[in-house]
Structure 1
Amino acid sequence: MSTDLDTVIADAIAPSAAETDRTGAFPRAGLEALGKAGLLGLTSAVEVGGGGQGLRAAAEVVTALAAVCGSTAMITLMHYSATAALEAHGPEEVRRAIAEGRYLAMLAFSEAGSRSHFWAPVSTATDDGGEVRLDASKSFVTAAGEADGYVWSSRPLSRPGPMTLWLVPRDAAGLRVTGSFDGLGLRANASSPMAADGVRVPADAMLGTDGDGLDIALATVLPTFLVLNAACSVGVIEALTAKAGEHLSRTHLAHLGRRLADQPQARSAFARVRTRADQTRAFLDDTLTALETGREDATLRVLQVKAVAAEAAAAIGDDVMRLCGGSALRRDLGIERHFRDALAARVMAPTTEALEDFVGRVSLGLPLFDGPAS
């Protein structure tokens, strides 16, 4: 896998990463290259033609991508997250298309009405003469208008429960992108609002059972999303750390005849960056090990890992900007691009604050949710 991934990054992603960030243009060519290399089907089951790999392999892909292009990494991790739900409950033809690298799947959970509280959708699903009518105002959908299908949340059709999941194709009548994305970071991930105005899907577009969408999301989607979001932050951290090391090693203080790396204060500052980067990677690795071995604290680690990595990325980004001084503001060095990408994870649902509440609840033996989702 590493050889194929390295080739795709070197040939199709790295050369255009800075321009992709500058223009915000969706990185279609890079994603197509990932698909042709079998990397979009990496976690799909072998029986449908996929790679049959687990979360650790997906994390390696996302980390490597994020060190080069945060937008491509974010799109890929969202694709893997949607694939987790589709592998468990999706139709075989879609699963095969994903496995073959010709279908990009995304999540459509966040809504204007419930903001980052993805577990409490306000969008509706209603019976419409044998079909189902979906009406919604989604606030942030990665690859909006670019993906082939969306794992879509709504209130249940008829049964009790907090939500139901659907597979909505990109060409569904009444499905539209309602705004553009011009973000500070992750500028090319097309994270735009979408609306469903009387979108009709067949009843068998339901993923799983009516009303059980939150259970599906917690069992399949959320662990994948949280771990891979942390992997994305780790990749950005590694890029920032490498850039800082390069700057210290090559920048000379002519009046002293020494490099910045020869200055004890600069070395100490870099050591703190390097140490926190290693701590964050170690926490991600421990989380993956906890999941793979069925360790008792696996759920706790999953709830912690995105917040740990997101806050580390933001702090390291700030430290590297300070360490590299005015040079860090220059676009040609790439430091400021990775710094901007580093800021996204902490405010992406579930936010750091929401995850800290979840961690507190689990640690204190309380239910994960209050209200309708409990």
Structure 2
Amino acid sequence: MTYEKDLARIVEDIVAPRAASVDADGAFPLAAVEELASAGILGLTVPAQYGGGGLGLAAGADVVRTLSQACSSTAMVVTMHYAATAALAAAGREDALREIAEGRHLSTLAFSETGSRSHFWAPLSTAAAEGDEVVLSAAKSWVTSAHHADSYVWSSRPLAAEGPMSLWFVRKGTAGLGSPASFDGLGLRGNDSSPVTGEGVRVARKDLLGEDGTGLDTALTAVLPWFLLLNASAGVGLMESVTAATVEHLTATRLRHLDQSLAQQLPSRAKVARMRIETDRTRALVEDTVAAVEAGRPDAQLLVLEVKAAADEAAALVTDTAMTVCGGAAFRKELPIERRFRDSRAARVMAPTTDALLDFVGRALCGLPLLDA
């Protein structure tokens, strides 16, 4: 399946022209999402047996990086959709996968909770059997596309089995679901990341994704690689955009008293060079991690744990530098740099946070389990 031309058209015609207003208004990028669905890009990673594009991490990372060059909010919506799709594919949830492939379904993850916050691996939400149904109750803290997704991949404590987590397929509009708040954040302002509550949400037993109690295994093996790699890819796209905007500002802006552009000043050139090096280094890490996962290399798990932490820190550094290099102009809306600076701050506190990932990497290096028993 080829998607590059459609993706480029959507970015040029819809995503890029609306990025500033999505940010300013905190508006969900609905037009872009609908066009991505119609073009088959939301179904790109659905297995071919369910009518999807049958493509893997490399394609998903490319889509997210390209979107993020224009709009981080749109990139995050697609990141969470692809991560949820990975969970649905692992469980063979045919009805949802076919709807996604047909451009009729946007999904997302509902993992983080008010009680356990960024510790997504320790849900406090409950699942209780009542006849042929299961009753779910939860206070989810941050759910991307909360008001716009057609389904949630929902975590809870197991029904009866051992293990920390089970996963469920919960459709939008199920009785008992609520999302009382709208998102008004510093960055990623259009991604509609809001709390979702569940009070007596009734689902069928067949809505269990996989076996009871095995949700953490699915989250770590099927979902987490997609989530971490696509977040890192979004960071790369953001860095590419900010670096290009900085170069454009330096070359177009002049110091009239010296009859020189800002680009002719050595400190500015040196800083933008560091931005480019950091961007290229991070993109190389992301691409190597994708290759490691797709080839089943022995170093794949460690690289997956490293990649989001590395990209998040790099994006913060690059945007910090851009704000300094471009001076007062970067603090105003005339340049996209302040918007991307704000967007870059979100990833480091998005579960798993940078601190958690550094701990995971250290544990892996020292031969310790990633999570305490």
Interval containing the TM-score (normalised by the shorter chain): over 0.9
CA RMSD of aligned residues (A): 0.8
1:56: which partner in 2? 58
- Give structure 1 stretches of 5+ with no counterpart: none
1:332: Cα distance to partner?
2.4
1:90: Cα distance to partner?
4.1
1:127-138 map, 5 Å: 127-138=129-140
Give the residue type in structure 2 aligned to 1:168: V
1:197: which partner in 2? 199
- Cα distance in 2, alignment partners of residues 178 and 206 from structure 1: 26
- Cα distance in 1, alignment partners of residues 240 and 346 from structure 2: 16
2:325: which partner in 1? 323
1:98: Cα distance to partner?
0.7
1:147-186 map, 5 Å: 147-186=149-188
Corresponding residue to 1:231 among 230, 233, 255: 233
Residue 334 of structure 2: SS of its match in structure 1? helix
1:192-341 map, 5 Å: 192-341=194-343
Aligned residues: 371
> Contact 1:133–1:200 at 8 Å: present in 2 too?
yes
Give the residue type in structure 1 aligned to 2:343: D
> Contact 1:234–1:313 at 8 Å: present in 2 too?
yes
- Cα distance in 2, alignment partners of residues 241 and 100 from structure 1: 37
Spell out, residue by residue over 1:267-326, the C-alpha distance to the aligned partner (whole angstroms, 9 max, x if none).
111111111111111111111111122111100000000000000001111000000000
Give the residue type in structure 2 aligned to 1:357: D
Corresponding residue to 1:366 among 360, 363, 368: 368
1:73: which partner in 2? 75
- Cα distance in 2, alignment partners of residues 151 and 197 from structure 1: 16
Q: What is the TM-score normalised by the length of structure 1?
A: 0.98
1:145: Cα distance to partner?
1.9
Q: Tell me if 1:37 matches 2:44.
A: no
- Cα distance in 1, alignment partners of residues 295 and 91 from structure 2: 24
1:129: Cα distance to partner?
2.2
- Give structure 2 stretches of 5+ with no counterpart: none
2:354: which partner in 1? 352
Give the residue type in structure 1 aligned to 2:133: E
- Cα distance in 2, alignment partners of residues 130 and 324 from structure 1: 62
Give the residue type in structure 2 aligned to 1:296: P
- Cα distance in 1, alignment partners of residues 14 and 162 from structure 2: 47
Residue 244 of structure 2: SS of its match in structure 1? helix
Deviates more, 1:83-92 or 1:168-177: 83-92
Q: Tell me if 1:6 matches 2:26.
A: no
- Cα distance in 1, alignment partners of residues 357 and 60 from structure 2: 22
1:111: which partner in 2? 113
Corresponding residue to 1:139 among 133, 138, 141: 141
- Cα distance in 2, alignment partners of residues 294 and 134 from structure 1: 36
- Cα distance in 2, alignment partners of residues 152 and 228 from structure 1: 20
Deviates more, 1:284-293 or 1:202-211: 284-293
- Cα distance in 2, alignment partners of residues 28 and 174 from structure 1: 25
Deviates more, 1:333-342 or 1:199-208: 333-342
Corresponding residue to 2:94 among 92, 95, 114: 92
Give the residue type in structure 1 aligned to 2:260: R
Deviates more, 1:227-236 or 1:290-299: 290-299
Q: What is the TM-score normalised by the length of structure 2?
A: 0.98
% same residue: 57
- Cα distance in 2, alignment partners of residues 35 and 181 from structure 1: 23
Residue 283 of structure 2: SS of its match in structure 1? helix
- Cα distance in 2, alignment partners of residues 238 and 13 from structure 1: 16
Spell out, residue by residue over 1:309-364, the C-alpha distance to the aligned partner (whole angstroms, 9 max, x if none).
00000111100000000000111211111111111111100000000000001111
> Contact 1:145–1:176 at 8 Å: present in 2 too?
no
Spell out, residue by residue over 1:178-213, the C-alpha distance to the aligned partner (whole angstroms, 9 max, x if none).
222101000010100010000000000000000000
> Contact 1:130–1:203 at 8 Å: present in 2 too?
yes
Deviates more, 1:85-94 or 1:124-133: 85-94
> Contact 1:17–1:69 at 8 Å: present in 2 too?
yes
1:126: which partner in 2? 128
Spell out, residue by residue over 1:117-175, the C-alpha distance to the aligned partner (whole angstroms, 9 max, x if none).
00000000001122000000000000112100000000000111000000000010000
1:14: Cα distance to partner?
1.3
Deviates more, 1:91-100 or 1:186-195: 91-100
> Contact 1:123–1:135 at 8 Å: present in 2 too?
yes
> Contact 1:164–1:206 at 8 Å: present in 2 too?
yes
1:12: Cα distance to partner?
1.8
- Cα distance in 1, alignment partners of residues 295 and 191 from structure 2: 33
Structure 1 residues 173 and 90: CA distance shift in structure 2, 3 A: farther
